[in-house]
Amino acid sequence: MSNERIEFIEKPALINNQARLLYVSSSKYEGDWHSQLHSHHFTELFYVTKGCGGFKIGADEFNVQENDFVIINPNTMHTEVSRDRNPLEYIVIAIDGISFEIPEDSLKDYISCNYANYKNEILFYLNLMVKESQAKNELYDDMCQQLMQVLLINILRLNRINVSLTQGKTIRKEIFMIKNYIDRNYHKEITLDTLAEKTHMNKFYLAHEFKNDVGVSPISYLLQRRIYESKYLLRDTDLSISQISTILGFSSLSYFAQAFKKSTNFSPLQYRKNHQKYNK
C-alpha cells in the first residue's frame, strides 16, 4: 500500500479572509438600459454569456462578445453598452475588499480577456452562484462566498495575476442591498416603508444605518439617483420634460422641476438648452 500525504504551508489566506461577495447578477439588455459612467467602491467581474456590446472604462472604449471577461477595479469610471441586433447578456459579481493588480507595463486600468477555452469551468461556478442566489436556500450566501473563492483562484491562475487588499469605506451587506435595490428600481415608487418591508428591518433603524454608511438618507439617495438619470435623459434624448418626469417616478412635473433646480441651480429646460445634442 502506498500513501502520499501533502503538507500545506501555513500562511494567510488572502482571498478567504478579505474578499467579500456583495452580489451576483445575471443581466440582459432589453431596451430600457441607459448607459451612464459610474464607479463603485468594490471590484466588478463581468462574463459575457451572449450577444455583443462594448465597455467604456475611463478614457477607453472596446468591444466585447460572448465569453469575454472584464475585471474592473474599485473607483474606476465605467459603463456597459449593448448592440440592438445582438443584445448583450452577462453575469456580474461584485467583490469588496480586494483589487486586481494591473501589470506595470499596461496602460489600462482594467483587465479584459476571452475565456472561450475555459468557459465550462468558469461558467460552472458563475451559473451555480446565480442559481444559489435566486433560490435562496439555507446557507446560500455561504455557498456563494465559497464558490466565489474558488472562482477567484481559477482567474488568478489563468491570468497569472495577483490581488491586493483595498482599504476605504465599506458598506455593510444589508445596506448595500438597499442601495442596490434603489439603483435598479429608482423609476418605481419607493418609500421607507417599501424598503423596510423588503429588508425586514425597522424603517427608522434602516434610515439611520443607511445614512451612516452612505452619507444621506435612503429617500435623499433615491432623489439623487433620479436627478442623476434625468441629466442623461435631458442631454441625450428628445423625450419631453413631462415624459422624463414620469419615467423617473416623480409624483408630478412641478416636483421634478423643483427638485432638479435645487440640485443643479438650473431648471430642466435650462439644463437641456445648455447641453442638448438635439437641435429642435
Question: pLDDT at residue 117 above 80?
Answer: yes
Asked whether residue 106 carries a pLDDT value surpassing 80, the answer given is no
Per-residue pLDDT at 33 exceeds 90: no
Confidence of residue 279 (pLDDT cuts 50, 70, 90): very low
Closest CA to 93 of 35, 8, 47, 24: 24
Which segment of 33-37, 44-48, 185-189 scores lowest on mean pLDDT? Answer: 33-37
Q: How far is CA 218 from CA 136, 200, 214, 254, 257, in A?
A: 25, 15, 9, 22, 21
Q: Map grid coordinates 447641453 to a residue.
A: 275
In angstroms, rounded to a whole number, what is the distance separating the alpha carbons of residues 215 and 220? 10
Cα(46)–Cα(199) distance, integer angstroms: 27
Please give the average per-residue pLDDT across 38-42, as a whole number: 79
Query: Does the pLDDT at position 104 exceed 50?
Result: yes
Q: Is 218 left (phi over 0), alpha (psi -120 to 50) or beta?
A: alpha
Sign of CA dihedral 107, 57, 223, 227: positive
- Among 156, 180, 186, 32, which residue's Cα sits nearest to residue 94? 180
Q: Please, what's the b/e burial string for 143-173 (b: 16 or more CB within 10 A of its CB; e: otherwise)?
A: bbebbbbebbebbbeeeeeebeebeeebbee
Tens-digit pLDDT profile for residues 198-236:
888 899 999 998 888 777 899 998 998 898 888 888 887
Query: pLDDT class for 280, splitting at 50, 70, 90?
Result: very low
- Bigger pLDDT: 130 vs 77: 130
Distance CA 165, CA 71 (A): 15
Residue type at 202 in one-letter notation = N
> How confident is the model at residue 18, as a pLDDT?
76
Domains and CATH numbers, the chain: 14-165 (2.60.120.280), 171-280 (1.10.10.60)
Mean pLDDT of all residues in 51-67:
89
**Beta carbons within 8 Å of 93's beta carbon, 6+ residues apart:** 21, 23, 24, 25, 44, 45, 126, 129, 148, 151
Instruction: Point out which residues pair with 184 in neighbouring strands.
Output: none
Q: What tens digit of pLDDT does each residue of 241-268 get?
A: 999 999 999 999 999 999 999 888 899 9
* Per-residue model confidence (pLDDT) at position 8: 52
